Structures are given as C-alpha cells and as structure tokens.
Amino acid sequence: MASIEKNLDTASSLPVLSRSEGRYLNHKPMKRSGFLKTLRIFWNATFNKPRHTRPIGEIPVQPLSRQQLLAAPDNTVYRLGHSTVLLKLRNQYFLTDPVFAERASPIQWAGPQRFHQPPISLADLPPLKAVILSHNHYDHLDHMTIQVLKDKAEHFIAPLGVGDTLIEWGVPAEKVLQLNWWQSTEIHGIRFVATPAQHFSGRSLSDGNRTLWCSWVMLDGEQRIFFSGDTGYHDGFKLIGEQYGPFDLTLMETGAYNVEWPDVHMQPEETLQAHIDLRGKWLLPIHNGTFDLAMHAWHEPFDRILALAWDRSISITTPEMGQPFYLQYPSRGQAWWIKVEKAAEVDETAPPHSQQPQPQVQQHRSRRCPRQQAVGRS
C-alpha cells in the first residue's frame, strides 16, 4: 500500500495554508466581492453569456480505444477534455481530475455543458493505477465519474479533505491518500508531491474552503511533470521550480479567467510566466476547450497562449482531444480551433438544409449537439 511521506529536509521552511474556523486561507489576501457584484457576475454568467463562449462548429476529437492505449508507448499523454489528462507511465495509467459527465454542475439538466464527448468512455478505460485530484469543484471532481472509477482505480490521491468526500461516495478508504502541501507518496515507482496553488474550494453554499486545493508534481526517475490544477498566479511557482524543476512537461491551466476573479485563475500571460518560473520545457494548456466557464470566447485561451509562447520562443503543444503527446518525441500539434471557427463560418453561409443534399444534412446533424443544432436552425 502507498504511504505518505514528507520532504523532511525542507518541510519546515516550505509554506502551507493555515485555517481559520475550519476554512483554508490563501497566503495572498483575496479580493472579496460584495453581494451585488456577486449577483451581477452570476446573472451575466447565467443569462448574458456571449454566443462565442461556445463553439458553433464541431470540436475535433480523436477517438481512443483500450487497444490503442495498451499498444501506446510509455510516457504518452492524452487530453480527454478540460483538465482530465490520461498519462501512461511505466506501463500503468494515471488520470487527473476526471470529469466525464455531460455538465460540470451539481445537476445534469442545467449548468455548463460539454462542447464534445470524451475520446474514450469510462467503460473502455483500462485499469488505472491512480486518480489524481486537485480540488473539489464540479469541473474537476464528478460524482458520476467517481462511481465508475472507484472499482477501476487502485489509488486516489487528493488534497486534504477531498479524500473524505471520496470515502463518503463509496471509494474504499484504503484506496484514498490525502496529502497536505509538500507531502508526497510513491506509487509504482513514481513520486507524487502535493504542491501549492492559489484557489478555493466548495461544492455548496456552506462548505467553502473546508477542503484543500493543490497542484501536483510527478517524478518518474529523471522525468518530471507538473499538473497545475486550478490556480491564480503566485510566488509558489518559483519555489516549486527550485525544489523540483526543470519539468519536461507542464500541464497548465489556461482558461476560465476574468478580470472579475483575478486571484483564482490565471490570464494567459500569467500562465506563461508560471511555466517559466517552473523551468518548464514543454507547455500543454488545459482547462479549456470543453466547458464555458467564463465570458471570453471559447478559443481565446488557445489564441493568446500560443501567440505569447511563440513570441517568447517557448515550446508549446496543443493536441486535439484524444491525440497522443509523446514525451520522448514531443511535437507542437496544430491550431485545430481555427478550423472549428472556419468550418462554422462556412456552415453559416451554406444554403438552407432543404437545399442541401439530404445524406450530407443527416451526417452533419449527427455530429452536433442539440444546442448546436438549434443554433444552426436559427
């Protein structure tokens, strides 16, 4: 069974979060929103979202099968959507922040809806060595998904308090490991270290910040991977880079940002700086392309981070959902989101459905979600 360790040489000097009345407090004071401002943000997010927060065209997804995953070489990384990333390391499979539900919401009839289906179903996933969780928000911790994975995964590693939720949901307690910042555990020869993040937690109006949030360092021999979880920019990135860098790959939050909440999500400029602080080699932007969680255009995070990285000569990769990224043979990928927008523009200028050949209409409709079909008919 995996055990929890602490970096004893430096633990006394490394910062952890304090608690006040059972709630975790970020080191940087957060800008508190008044009731009216919070109500305005909620109203705009619910009723006044611009159309461009969701794609009209089809998000390209490369389907995956269990056979493909079994045949894939070690050190292969797959984006499955949002912050859900599948890593094949040492011939075992590790999954970050798994969300396979249709909506990132406590209810499945309302809330942010997926732009695309996952490249592989939960049933087709191979057995997992570990599930790695960063915090308990609905776009990172999904009850339905955990119900399936509790029998498929050997270990669940999570920040303090999040593991209690897993146990309440039926995950066997012996499978759950809960870590504070700078604590680590070794699973199948890979060391996982819970590292700082600047965010918040909660799944209801009453449990705000009662569970911890974190980022993760993955140490596989000389190979090093960083997973940001959700975070605003903070000084801790430099400390993580000093302690554990350089990183071969950083999986970095790039999306759902807004000037209204600057402390808990990074603007693309901050994402790039965090990657530099971490001493990262390749940057893979995540937390985008699956749910509309802010007011920016759905493709804006890709546009901005790609331009910034190119301007600074930073190696960046933007694989399609389901497309493999090989750590041993890294490649940049393509700007696939541009094709989505161009396809949508062509679709909008096409003749009405009644004037198009019927087989093409049927095929086109089958690839689009109901909301997209409604937009196409309007």
pTM for the full model?
Answer: 0.88
Judging by DSSP bridges, how do beta strands 128-132 and 92-96 pair with one another?
parallel
On whether the CB atoms of residues 218 and 192 are closer than 8 A, the answer is yes
The parent domain of residue 189 ranges over 40-337
In a domain, 176, yes or no: yes
Encode the chain (378 residues) as per-residue pLDDT tens digits: 677 665 534 455 799 999 999 999 999 887 766 655 555 656 566 666 788 999 999 999 999 999 999 999 999 999 999 999 999 999 999 999 999 999 999 999 988 999 999 999 999 999 999 999 999 999 999 999 999 999 999 999 999 999 999 999 999 999 999 999 999 999 999 999 999 999 999 999 899 999 999 999 999 999 999 999 999 999 999 999 999 999 999 999 999 999 988 999 999 999 999 999 999 999 999 999 999 999 999 999 999 999 999 999 999 999 999 999 999 999 998 999 999 987 666 555 555 544 444 433 333 333 333 333 333 332
Smallest CA-to-CA distance from 318 within 77, 106, 134 is with 77
In a domain, 363, yes or no: no
In a domain, 17, yes or no: no
Q: What is the CATH number of the domain that holds 119?
A: 3.60.15.10
In a domain, 232, yes or no: yes
Q: Which amino acid, one-letter code, is at 273? A: Q
In a domain, 319, yes or no: yes
Smallest CA-to-CA distance from 97 within 50, 37, 159, 47 is with 159
Residue 31: burial class (beta carbons within 10 Å; 0-12, 13-18, 19+)? exposed
What is the total count of domains within the chain? 1
